[in-house]
Structure 1
Amino acid sequence: MNKTVLMKGVMCAFLTIALTACAAGQKSAEPGPSGGAADAEVKQPKPPEPVDITVFSINRTTEDAFNKQYGEAIRSKFPHVNLKVVVNGKGTGIPELIGSNTPIDILYGSVEGIFTNVIDYKLQYDITGLIQSRKYDLNKLEPSIVELQRKLSGGKLYGLPVWTATSGLFYNKDLFDKFGQPYPKEGMTWDELAELSKKMTRLEDGVQYYGYVTGPGAQMATNQLGLDPIDPVTMKSNFTSEPWKQFMQSIVDIYKASGLAYKADELDVAKSRAAFEKESRVAMYTNYSGGTPPETMNWDVVSVPSYKNAPGKGPQVYPNYWYVSGISKHKEAAFDIIAFLSSDEFQIPHNRKGYATVLKDEAIKKQYGQDMPKFKGKNVAAMFPKQPAPAMNYTPYVRNAQNVFQSAFQKHMLEGIDLNTVMREAAEQLDKQVMDAQGK
């Protein structure tokens, strides 16, 4: 073979090998896991698939109110979610939804709603696994609110809180100025309130002024001693027990300290509240459901007074919980929504709008209502008890107990029936209501 031809063949072969090696070298030199456009394309997460989520409002919140309070924020955070709300009402209750195979992914409402709208229809679902897999931090929540949910769920967790009711001793500053009395102070006892109420109760220029009014039923349902109105095991009323009689006596004593002979209208809860908020004839009023005086009143607030045998203990928490439905086909998506609603991202602005936070962060609590003019300069921190009383053992009949207790208070005050008798009759009435409800 010609030497020239041989050399050309060798050089071609060498060049081919070199080019192949070069190409291989270039390929191995492409960016690895640390960056690069090609890698970014591979690792780009897929957008979530669209999902339909139906929310059931236990407390009959209107759709418009739902959207303003929750819906707009949920849709903004989860654009892939097609959100629908069903409001509890005639023809749209849980039985009708189940009967028509309507999806239910989330249910929400006040604390006692778990029985009649979740557990009674076997819609509960333990979210403990989702809390772990989604790495949700329960420690950021107010511990007493988590404790109550565990009690409601039999040691499990069926839901997460989104907001809670505040409580406080509200007072009309103008009335205290008018009568030359010092304003209520932080850390008062109920005995001290009774003395102050007595000084502020008077008839002047034909107008009857009252030192203090309350809703005894609401006070019972959030009682600062952690008393159970119904034994959760026997389902019998506890109203004949000595602690409950003493609790009733403590409310009665404040009213009787004024020396007034009350009429029915003066003990009606709605009319008592109107006398405080609209007529400015009441100096002090305790609220346990998150309500506050109107903007037109010159008001402020201190913590609810405490009992000598439970110093510093505030009322029990009264939260609004959101539940993942046991029949939901989208439990993870439902949980993610609930987790978002109980996160700092949602809680901070929600709290500033006047929906009390469920987070334990004191700095966030102090921002309560600050986007609303009526809260400017008010002692809002007082509306979050530093030591909420231990949560009672809730039963489906707490609302019955509340109404019966309210009725017993009025009967004692108006008819003069002795306390032992009205509490015994209240217990009998409550027991009958429970037995009737259970079909016994």
Structure 2
Amino acid sequence: MNKRKRFQAMLPVLLILLLAAAGCSSSGSGSPPPAAGTAPAAAESPATDEPETSHPAEETGGEPVTIKILYPWGEGAFEERYRGIESLLPNVKLELVDSRAELEPLQELNAQQIVPDIIFANWGLAPLYELDMIEPLDALIAKHRFDLRTLDDSLVASIRAMDKEGQGRMMGIPIQYSPYGIWYNKEVFDKFGVEYPGERMTWDEVIEMAKQMTAERDGIPYRGLEMGPGMASGEVTVPLQQLAVNLTDPDTGEVRIDKEPAVAKYLDLMKRIYSIPGIVSPDPEARTDYEFPKKNVAMIVTWIEYLRWGVGDPEVAANMEAAPLPVWPDAPDAAPPAGSNLLVINKYSPHKDEAFRVLMAYLSPEHQTELAKIGDAPPLFNNPDVVSRFGESVEIFNGKNVSAFYKRKPALPPAKISPWDKYVDIGGSMLKFSQSNMDIAEFLRVLKEESEMKIREARSKSG
């Protein structure tokens, strides 16, 4: 899989994590959960005015040890993203287990008695839950005095909400936080004489800008806004994600979209966007991929790495720039809850302490800075020194205002993310919504019925 397709494949996983944490990422977990963003007492750091810095190198003495990391994208990408950890942990050697964290590959490894110590769970936690392969990290966090305050509250809360037993445990550590924002094309803005996006735009203001630039010029049809291919997938749900609600009851699976005011609020916004003549291309082919790289779209709501994986050519991107994510008026600084794929310690690892030191090293500012330079969005996004280095070694990001993507603070997720939300396909239903005359109540009724049927089928298959 090439890098662009790899990242496009990862995006739905991140979206599902933020909306529901099911499907590609399993969620949930058993005693009363802590308040969102808080840690169980055993994992709390000592109370100080400033977060302590965790130093993985302080405990690296002892016998040499090999830590096996399951990673699916080959030796080259593994070397680029993990090998530098060895310089921080002199007694540790890292070994690639080139496989995927899906059910069948994991079962094959288990049958061969190959035990990865750390698992890159980019297909979510569901297969790891099924095989009972997750070591919750709270005891190791306390033992090694790792300061969770180096991570944003929203990111920690999102990970705790993935504990399917409802205990709010840390099921892994994040590999990255890919924030949403706007990439815009200055050429299109100049052609229509519209001011460039500002630092504090509401969705209402974006709609007005999109109206002005959805028109034909010199025989070319332009569109003012794109939110996923065809305005009907992926990023189209970003405004809903900002509202940080479950679509289903996490315990019962009841579909609640017709009872959740945030959903109606979101659909009203989208109805106004879809009412802009020409905003949705009538050409089915044009709806299969992003149009922004063709330079006939003014703005795209997307994730920070899109310029690299979606546009790719620095010459094409020469007049493209970044702006912060638009906001709701009553939540003037909120981004979607911070989500991430996880690095998980295998419950059956014989080297759990050493594996946790590797995770600490992965999250160290030193290693995160190196990853940021090559365009991997760092989970330490509350560390301005790390964030400021994003894309430093990638030509297409040179001179771009990438810090705009970090202007919004992620909202806290629900205390328990519903594993049933993946069966409520709002993103996949938006094309039908955009092309129909259904009012919001009717659309919700139809989507609710479809979602309930999917949930019943899923339950019958799982027994």
TM-score (norm 1): 0.80
Q: Say which SS state the counterpart of residue 351 (structure 1) adopts.
A: helix
Q: Say which SS state the counterpart of residue 231 (structure 1) adopts.
A: coil
Alignment pair present for 1:74 and 2:85: yes
Deviation string 1:289-323 (CA, Å, 9 cap, x unpaired) is 74224322211111110012222211221223211
State the one-letter code of the partner of 1:149: I
Kindly indicate whether the alpha-carbon contact (under 8 Å) linking 1:408 and 1:423 is maintained by their aligned counterparts in 2: no
Alignment pair present for 1:419 and 2:440: yes
Kindly indicate whether the alpha-carbon contact (under 8 Å) linking 2:117 and 2:350 is maintained by their aligned counterparts in 1: yes
Using a 3 Å threshold, how does the CA distance of structure 1 residues 90 and 261 change in structure 2: closer, same or farther? closer
Alignment pair present for 1:249 and 2:268: yes
Aligned to 1:291: 306
* 1:355 Cα offset (Å): 1.2
1:36-435 equivalence runs, <5 A: 48-57=62-71, 60-70=72-82, 72-78=83-89, 80-88=92-100, 93-110=105-122, 113-114=124-125, 116-153=126-163, 154-215=167-228, 216-220=233-237, 223-241=241-259, 242-258=261-277, 262-263=281-282, 265=284, 268=287, 270-271=288-289, 273=290, 275-277=291-293, 279-288=294-303, 290-292=305-307, 293-294=311-312, 295=314, 296-297=316-317, 298-359=319-380, 360-392=382-414, 393-401=416-424, 404-435=425-456
For the aligned residues, what is the CA RMSD?
2.5
State the one-letter code of the partner of 2:292: F
State the one-letter code of the partner of 2:334: K
State the one-letter code of the partner of 1:199: Q
* 1:398 Cα offset (Å): 4.5
State the one-letter code of the partner of 1:98: N
Using a 3 Å threshold, how does the CA distance of structure 1 residues 364 and 64 change in structure 2: closer, same or farther? closer
Structure 2: runs of 5+ lacking an equivalent: 1-58
Q: Please give the alpha-carbon distance, in whole angstroms, between the structure 1 residues aligned to 2:280 and 2:60.
A: 72
* 1:47 Cα offset (Å): 5.6
Q: Say which SS state the counterpart of residue 319 (structure 1) adopts.
A: coil
Kindly indicate whether the alpha-carbon contact (under 8 Å) linking 1:264 and 1:414 is maintained by their aligned counterparts in 2: no
Q: Please give the alpha-carbon distance, in whole angstroms, between the structure 2 residues aligned to 1:259 and 1:103.
A: 54
Matched positions, count: 385
Deviation string 1:222-245 (CA, Å, 9 cap, x unpaired) is 710111122212112222233212
Using a 3 Å threshold, how does the CA distance of structure 1 residues 321 and 82 change in structure 2: closer, same or farther? closer
Q: Please give the alpha-carbon distance, in whole angstroms, between the structure 1 residues aligned to 2:286 and 2:168.
A: 39
Q: Say which SS state the counterpart of residue 93 (structure 1) adopts.
A: helix
Q: Say which SS state the counterpart of residue 68 (structure 2) adopts.
A: strand
Q: Please give the alpha-carbon distance, in whole angstroms, between the structure 1 residues aligned to 2:254 and 2:146.
A: 38
State the one-letter code of the partner of 1:87: S
Kindly indicate whether the alpha-carbon contact (under 8 Å) linking 1:411 and 1:422 is maintained by their aligned counterparts in 2: no
Using a 3 Å threshold, how does the CA distance of structure 1 residues 425 and 67 change in structure 2: closer, same or farther? farther
Q: Please give the alpha-carbon distance, in whole angstroms, between the structure 1 residues aligned to 2:401 and 2:421.
A: 31
Q: Say which SS state the counterpart of residue 152 (structure 1) adopts.
A: coil
Kindly indicate whether the alpha-carbon contact (under 8 Å) linking 1:195 and 1:257 is maintained by their aligned counterparts in 2: no
Using a 3 Å threshold, how does the CA distance of structure 1 residues 340 and 420 change in structure 2: closer, same or farther? same
Kindly indicate whether the alpha-carbon contact (under 8 Å) linking 1:408 and 1:422 is maintained by their aligned counterparts in 2: no
Q: Say which SS state the counterpart of residue 168 (structure 2) adopts.
A: coil
Using a 3 Å threshold, how does the CA distance of structure 1 residues 419 and 433 change in structure 2: closer, same or farther? same
Deviation string 1:164-219 (CA, Å, 9 cap, x unpaired) is 11211110011111222111111100000000000011112321100001035444
Aligned to 1:437: 458
Q: Say which SS state the counterpart of residue 345 (structure 1) adopts.
A: helix
State the one-letter code of the partner of 1:255: Y
Using a 3 Å threshold, how does the CA distance of structure 1 residues 302 and 202 change in structure 2: closer, same or farther? same
Kindly indicate whether the alpha-carbon contact (under 8 Å) linking 1:150 and 1:157 is maintained by their aligned counterparts in 2: yes
Kindly indicate whether the alpha-carbon contact (under 8 Å) linking 1:353 and 1:368 is maintained by their aligned counterparts in 2: yes
After TM superposition, the structure 1 stretch with the greater mean CA deviation from structure 2, 169-178 or 253-262, is 253-262
After TM superposition, the structure 1 stretch with the greater mean CA deviation from structure 2, 178-187 or 379-388, is 379-388
Q: Please give the alpha-carbon distance, in whole angstroms, between the structure 1 residues aligned to 2:67 and 2:280.
A: 56
